[in-house]
Structure formats: C-alpha cells, structure tokens
Chain A
Amino acid sequence: MRIGVTVFPGSNCDRDALYAIERAGAEPVELWHADADLKGVDAVVVPGGFSYGDYLRPGAIARFAKVMGPLEEFAKGGGPVLGVCNGFQVLTEAHLLPGALLRNTSMRFVCTRVDVRVENTRTPWTSLYEPGDELTLPVAHNEGNYFADERTMAELEDEGRVVLRYLDNPNGSVNDIAGLCNEGRNVVGLMPHPERASDPALGSAEGLKVFESVLRFAGAKV
C-alpha cells in the first residue's frame, strides 16, 4: 500500500503526513508539485501548510500545479484523496469539493484542540470509526470557516456528506462543518489535522484511524 503526499512550495505538514502514513503501516511517497505523476500510489493526501504562501487566496495557486492534473483524474476515477487544512482549501479551489473556506469569524489564526463528531464512516478515510464517535483533534488555521450556498448545503446534509462536525465551532463554519466528502465519497476534506493526533507519544492517536481506514479500503479493493 503506497500513499502519496503532494508537496507544493509552502506546504509545511507534508513531513508530518508522511510520518503518520508510515506509522499507520503504509509506504509514504512524496509527490513533487512540478511532476505530473502520481507514481502509481493507491491514495493521495494533500497536506496542510501555506502553499504558494497563501498568496491570492489559500489554495488558489496550488490548484494549477502540474501534479494536480493527474490528481484530478485519479479523484474522478474514484481514487481516495484526502485534503487536510490547506489541502482541503486546495481541493475546494480545484472544485473536487464544493464550497469555500473563509476567514475565521474571530479574524485570528487559531491553533487549539477541538472536539468533533464523526458523521459519515462510509468514506475510505473514516471507515474504521463508528458513526457518532467523538474525537479531540488539533486545528491550526486562519481560513477554516466553511461556507457553501443554501442549495449545496441542503445537498450535503441530505446526502449525508458531512464527515466531521465540530462540537465547539472554532471558526464560524456553517452547520459546524469540520469535514466533508464529494458525491462519490472518495474525496474528503478535513480542517482538523489527523496526522497531528497519530502518535501516543504526543498525547493522542485518535487521528491515526484516518490513515488506517484507507489502508483497509485499499486492501479490500485488492
């Protein structure tokens, strides 16, 4: 099982994601932004950070990077893709996920731990959780305030595409959305950082199941 991690200029959680993937028991593979090649990986993580300095708008420039072409193909073909934090922003900019992430309502960067509830376990990235599981996960962002128009929101809720919901909303997200998936449920975006809660030495491994889930998914597929 090989899981790729895209590296854009300014990504800064790429090494953390690679480390968590290794801890979950998969082979981590670095995917350089300038190479239009996914190197045959079974799943892709778009990590957090400040790709291209967040200049213009978070994720707005990264979506045009060369690696995004094959990544979009991979996603449209049902390949499991996870965007975390800035990765989530990149996936919305690339229209692989609906909506947008706006400035936090506090107008401040927020780094803390938040309680979230797992809403949807029928995705490759959450299948090892139970619906209703409550987790404590780290967040660290300036633009984590999820927004979508009413029709999209109705669709997301009707189709059960909200994956994680904040129990104590840190950024003003509509409907307390902390994570969601696309229609095919293979593309997931999360504002919290599961890779930062993947090691008991740092106090929590509640996020490791995200990576273990995709491992099981790939195993089941084979």
Chain B
Amino acid sequence: MNIQETYSSLGLSDFEYDRILELMGRAPNFLELSLLSVMWSEHCGYKNSRPLLGRFPNEGPRVLQGPGENAGVVEVGDGWALVFKMESHNHPSAVEPYEGAATGVGGIIRDVLAMGARPVALFNSLRFGPLDDERNRYLFREVVRGIGGYGNAIGVPTVGGEVEFARAYSGNPLVNAMCVGLVRSEDLMRARAVGEGNLVVLFGAKTGRDGIHGATFASDELSEESEEKRPNVQVGDPFAEKMLVECSLRLLEEGLIVSLQDLGAAGITSSASEMAAKGGVGIEIDAEKVPLREEGMEPWEIVISESQERMLAIVEPEKVEEVLQVAERYELVAAVVGRVTGHGDMRVMNRGEVAGTVLARHLAEAPVYEREVRTPAYLEEVRKLDLEELPAPQDYNSVLFSLLAHPNLCSRRPVYEQYDHQVGTDTVVLPGADAAVMRVKGTTLGFAATTDCKGRYCYLDPRGGAAAAVAEAYRNLSCVGAEPVALTDCLNFGSPEKPDAYYQLVTCIEGMAEACEALGTPVVSGNVSLYNETEGEAIYPTPTVGMVGVFEDVGRHATSEIKREGDALVLVGDFRPVLGGSDYLEIVHGRVAGAPPAPDLASGKAASDAVRRAIAAGVVDTAHDLSGGGLAVALAEMAVCGSIGAEARLLPGGRQDVALFGEVGGCILVAVPEGRLGELEEHLEGVHYSRIGGTGGGRLKISGLIDAGLDELGEAYERDLFERHAPEGGHLG
C-alpha cells in the first residue's frame, strides 16, 4: 500500500494529508496517521458542523457548563445540578443492532459520569424504516433489546424517549441515547489534565481489538460493505460498566483524582489528547503498560481501540496506590499507563521508545469545511398540496382507529415495558406521559426531560421543522409542569458533501437557534451524526432535541390521562390546524407533502407558560399537548389512558378532517374540575383558549363525527408493535 492508499483507507483526504504534512513539518508514521485520522473524523472532529454550531445560544441563568465538556450542566436548586447529553450510535446499530444500541447507552452514561455525576435517567430517540420490512423489524426489536439489556443491568432507569418509522430510515436507523445525571454543583469534574508529573490511570475493562477505527466507520455512508465492518462495532458489558460507575463515584467522593475522562470513540487517543489540549499540557502513554485482552496488539491498535467500559483519570502520584485499591475493590483492572508532561504532545511510548508523537492541539483542531448553501430543488415540489384533491373521509371513526393503531401513533408500552423505568426509586411519572418526571431524593425538587423531533417536518421545511422540535420539547415539559431550562441535541443528517443534506443541516441549525432564542432554552451539549445515508439515499433531516426542565415542587405535576368525570376540557393556544406534513395526510392519504404547521414561538410559549403556571399553582393536573394526529388523537389518548370518556365539539369553520386530525404548533388540552375553571381562566389571561367539552362516560364523542367506545379505541391504541408483520395501510413514506 502506498502512502496515499494508506491515508485514504483511514478516511483522510489529500487535502487533509497535506495539512498534516504542513502542521508536523514531516511525514507522519502509521501510528501518528492513525491518531490524526480518528481525531479528524467527522465523528470526533466535527469538521463540517463546528462553524455552524456557534449559532446556538448557550448561556442562561441556570447554565453551569455549556458546550465543550463531556456534557452540559444546569442548576436545579439547593446546590443540585443536572448533567446531560445526547449522542448518536446510528452506524453501529445499523450493522449490529443489539450491541450498537447497548454500547450507545454505555457511552452516554460515561459522558455524564466523567462530569462527576451519578447517572439517574436514560432516554432514547429511535428511527427505523417501516415495519412491513423484515430487516426493519429485526433492527427495531434488537435495538430495543440492546437498550434494555444494557440500561436494565446497570440500574439506571430508562424513563422516556420516542420512536418513529419512515421509509427514509430504512437501512440507516437512528439510535440517539440521552443520559441525565445528578451532582452537587461543587463536585463537578472537568476533563482537563493538569499538573506536570501527575500520572494517568486507566481503569475498567481490558483493552482489546474491538472497535478499531469505529470513529472513522461512523463518519462514512452505509453500503453493502458496511456489513463487513461488523468487527468495528464494540461489544458492551453492562456489568463492567456498573462497577465502573460505582468505582468512579467512590474515587470522586474520596477526592482521589484530579480529573476524569471517559473513553469513547478513538479510545485512549481521544481521551488523553482532549484532556491534554484542554489543560494546555502534554500526555505520554506507555502502550506496553495498558492491560490487554489479547496478545500481539500493536501500539497504534492499543491507543485507538474502542473497547468499552474504560475511564482515564489524572492522579497525583501519592494517591495512586489508593486509586488502584479502590479499583480492586470493584474488581476492575487498573494501571498507571502514562504521565502528564510539559511538551504539549500526545505521545505514545513503547518500551521506552517514542512510537509516535503529535501536538495535542493539532489532534483537537480538525480542519473545518464551510460549504456553499444551495436551496434544494425538491423543496418546492414537496411543498405543493391542494386540499381540493383530498377526498373527505366517509367514516371519521375508522380514520381515528387507523391513526391510533399506526406504528407512529400507537402506545409505546410494548417498548418501555422492556426497560426498567423505576429502578432508583425516583421516577415520579412513568413513561407514556408527555415528559418523564423525576424527583431529587430528600428535597421537594424535581426535573423533567423529553426528546422530540419530527423528521418529516424537517424534510418538508428544515427551518420550521427544526424550530418545531424545540417548541414541542418546550411544550411537552410545560404539560407536565416543569420549567424548561436548556437542551442537548443530536443532529442526524445525510452527507454534508451533498448540497441537499448540507442545506438541511445549515437551515435546521438556524431554525433551532431561532427557537432556542425565542424560548430562552440554550443548547448546552450535543452531538452531530452526518453521513446517514444508505446506497446514496439520505435520511430525513433529524435534529433531535433533548430538553430538561426543573420543578421547585415536583409534587405539583400533571399527566395526560383524564382523571375524573365532569372535568371541563379546555383547548389552550392558537388553534390553527393544517394538514401539511401531518400523520393523517401520510397514513390516510399516502402523501408526505405540504407545509407543516409553522411554530408561532411567541404565542406557543405564552400558552405553555400559562399551563405550567396553572399546574404549579395546583389548579391543573391533566394536560396533554396536541401533536401527531391532531385534536382527535390527543383526546383519544387522554380518554383511553384515563379509562374515562369525553365529549367535545369542534370550533366552527373549515374542513372537518382538518379540525379533527390537522396538526398545530402550539396547543395544549387541559382537563380541569368545573369548580376550578375560574382559577384556570385567571392563569390563561392573554392567551387564546376555548372550552371545547367535558369528561365522562365510556365513549369519545366529537361533534357527531366521532363516536367510539373506549374499549375499541384502546384495542387500536394498545396493539403490540412487535407483533406486526403485515404492511400497515399500504402507504408509508
């Protein structure tokens, strides 16, 4: 292999290789080239997204740590802080779904752990191709098993998330995992190496050949050859990770370490060089001192191996003995594998000889690409939607049943029942609600979190769709009564080298940034996953939002199910439903077209804030946001989950299918006892709202169009997602 073939096979371009020659002033050896190739991969180096990410606001009154660390941090109150981040594991999950999803969970837990926090809640946002395809069913089933297999064993509850199906994700599923941790703010750790002469301790599992060049694999498009990269996927051991979590927390509690960093993509290289670059120091790693799982590993393999369940700590020499003893108590392998130095290099030594050395700064500074932004031709085409062409339904009941039974709208119970969502005894509101609600033990405080994104909206309208994702997260948190604080994101897109996907990336980021500004929710951490394409076809642009909110009194929260007969049903927000981009349009009419509802950020925020204040005041305990399937599906969910019926009438004007099933960007349904209606109205001053009906009985009735028993609605809604073999309805986008 000549040098060009070598660096190409490592994923480096000619331009990048020339840049390396320029920076180093000499030709790199193979080890150095390996270090640079993994650190300059899109996955580690954010080559295409870094200049764009600067558009996000990332400051706010509660923000303790914005982007640039292992995870973002916000204040809850009483000295407690929430540490959270979301990350993708799409490519590994496409070829080895169980392990890909499992190690995605493991990786995000270590990010939160590295900040010194105990991981307390997990979320996942999943996308697959339609379930009429055997391969998609396999991916879905195994990803869910993998998430459960890891999360359940490690004892961190999986309390929320989302799953959607669309043709665009066939062959390239999305597996985004989010972890939230809790820490006393004075105990926050940061991943920077300091103190020349301090030692580098590697602890956890042994290092093997698994996941060599995983980061490079994650930065490429998927193709038929991707199957051959199965050995690039790491294998997870949740048992080892559980010990790693307890061991790390003990080391932190006893004040034995200076700094902590997890090992993820690009293994020791990434961890050590990032710590060195942030601390403005150098790190030397003695490759032969790394405890190995197999014999005969080369130094370059050792330093880029992505073996799971390992952490790196910087330790003062006099505390090393104690650190090793704590690791032994938790039955983990630990070894001093290097030292902090003054030379600024990430240097790999092998039996006293320099095997390779690169300035840590150079590893951290992947070249940046800014590309031309061109509006894609497809946009104009897909936005065309003439309502006149759509026949009005003959039978509104059967439309409602087919929506409720559709994989994109039906109950997620078969998924979340496979996840332990109660371990830790802090889960206040169980999965199935608009957002998960957790308490902070020993206080009245709590937090809520949700993950949201409609890829179909973002495909039809990148700017509006991405803003809608932020707005929906804001609304979901408000529906449970939490004050939205900040968000993490996982930006899943196609290849930035293709104009359509690059436009989607740029425009979605702009839309998100605008929504974050308008709603006052900064972005404090995130992850970018590009090259999500199979055989040249890109996924829907999917900028997943993971937002957290806080409660002063977590006892004052709301859930979506109807709780009493005789409550008034109040629709809060500016109700202007549209069919563009709706689930109804796709499921019933087989079309992905039109302009999705534009989020009116200001009025949507006012509606959400008003509902949240009513919940905090103890006036409201039942609220649900209007989302896919519109008003009819939202009402049906509230009735089925509460086992109490409801009767509502549509507001006058417009097409009836639009009013029933059309989607809208800022509305919430609230149920409140008649006697408290006056109090609710005080909270709603200045906000659009209308009373549309009341609760009671065993049926759902809407304006003479819908009249269905709760049992038949429940039967449609509660179908088992894992036992679907026949195509659903025939037209999935």
Interface on A for B, CB 8 Å cutoff?
9-10, 12-13, 15-16, 19-20, 48-50, 52-55, 108-112, 138, 140, 142, 193, 195-196, 198-199, 201-203
Contact = CB atoms under 8 A, between A and B. Distances in A.
B331 A196 contact: no
Given A9-B239, A55-B239, A202-B427, A109 B152 contact: yes
A16 B425 contact: yes
B237 interface: yes
Given A108-B417, A109-B419, A111-B422, 10 more contacts: A9-B239, A9-B242, A54-B153, A111-B420, A111-B421, A193-B422, A195-B425, A196-B422, A201-B428, A203-B428
Given A9-B331, A53-B239, A109 B428 contact: no
A203 B555 CA distance: 10
Among all A-B residue pairs, the 4 with the closest Cβ atoms: A12-B155, A53-B239, A50-B153, A140-B420
Given A13-B155, A54-B153, A140-B152, A109 B418 contact: yes
Contacts of A138: 422
24 contacts: A9-B243, A9-B331, A12-B155, A13-B423, A50-B155, A50-B239, A53-B237, A53-B240, A54-B153, A55-B239, A109-B148, A109-B149, A109-B420, A110-B418, A111-B416, A111-B418, A111-B421, A193-B422, A195-B425, A196-B423, A199-B425, A201-B428, A202-B425, A202-B427
Among B152, B243, B416, the one with the most A-chain Cβ atoms within 10 Å of its Cβ is B152
Contacts of A20: 425
Contacts of A9: 239, 242-243, 330-331
Nearest to B414: A108
Contacts of B149: 109
A55 B153 CA distance: 11
Interface string B542-562: 000000000000110000000
Nearest to A54: B153
Contacts of A13: 155, 423
A46 B519 CA distance: 48
Nearest to B446: A201
B238 A202 contact: no
A198 B148 CA distance: 25
Nearest to B239: A53
Interface in B327-354: 330-331
B584 to A, nearest CB: 31
Contact of B419 (A12, A111, A195): A111
B417 A112 contact: yes
B291 to A, nearest CB: 18
Contacts of A48: 423
A221 B425 CA distance: 31
B428 A50 contact: no
Contacts of A49: 155
Contact of A50 (B152, B416, B554): B152
A10 B242 contact: yes
* Chain A contact residues, majority secondary structure: mixed
A201 B419 contact: no
A203 B439 CA distance: 12
Interface string B146-158: 0011001111000
B159 to A, nearest CB: 11
A103 to B, nearest CB: 13
B441 interface: yes
Interface in B202-235: none
A48 B152 CA distance: 11
Contacts of A55: 239
Contacts of B555: 201
A50 B149 CA distance: 11
Contacts of A112: 417
B57 to A, nearest CB: 35
Contact of B418 (A12, A108, A193, A203): A108
Given A12-B242, A19-B441, A201-B555, A53 B421 contact: no
A111 B144 CA distance: 13
Interface in B419-463: 419-428, 439, 441
A212 B584 CA distance: 53
Given A109-B420, A196-B425, A201-B428, A12 B243 contact: no
Interface residues of B, number: 31
Contacts of B554: 201
B206 to A, nearest CB: 16
A200 B481 CA distance: 19
A110 B439 contact: no
A50 B426 CA distance: 19
Contact of A110 (B155, B417, B426): B417
Among A20, A142, A201, the one with the most B-chain Cβ atoms within 10 Å of its Cβ is A201
Nearest to B237: A53
B722 to A, nearest CB: 8
A201 B439 CA distance: 9
Contacts of A50: 152-153, 155, 238-239, 242
Given A19-B441, A53-B239, A109-B148, A10 B153 contact: yes
A142 B422 CA distance: 15
Nearest to B154: A12
Nearest to A198: B425
Contacts of A54: 153, 239
Contacts of B148: 109
A217 B304 CA distance: 58
Interface string B492-506: 000000000000000
Nearest to A140: B420
Given A54-B153, A140-B152, A16 B421 contact: no
Contacts of B240: 53
A189 B238 CA distance: 25
Contacts of B424: 15-16
Contacts of A193: 422
Contacts of B237: 53
B323 to A, nearest CB: 19
Contacts of B154: 12
Contacts of B421: 111
Contacts of A140: 152, 420, 422-423
B219 to A, nearest CB: 32
Contacts of B419: 109, 111
Interface string B309-334: 00000000000000000000011000
A52 B239 contact: yes
B590 to A, nearest CB: 33
Nearest to B419: A111
Nearest to A7: B246
A12 B239 contact: no
A141 to B, nearest CB: 9
Nearest to A17: B425
Contacts of A53: 153, 237-240
Contact of A19 (B416, B425, B427, B428): B425
B625 to A, nearest CB: 22
A55 B155 CA distance: 16
Contacts of B422: 111, 138, 140, 193, 196
A112 B414 CA distance: 10
A133 B555 CA distance: 28
B447 to A, nearest CB: 14
A181 B599 CA distance: 59
Among A12, A19, A112, A138, the one with the most B-chain Cβ atoms within 10 Å of its Cβ is A12
A140 to B, nearest CB: 4
A170 B419 CA distance: 15
A10 B439 contact: no
Nearest to B332: A9
A93 to B, nearest CB: 17
Contacts of B416: 111
Contact of A16 (B153, B418, B423): B423
B423 A12 contact: yes
B250 to A, nearest CB: 12
Contacts of A198: 425
Nearest to B413: A112
Contacts of A108: 417-418
Contacts of A19: 425, 441
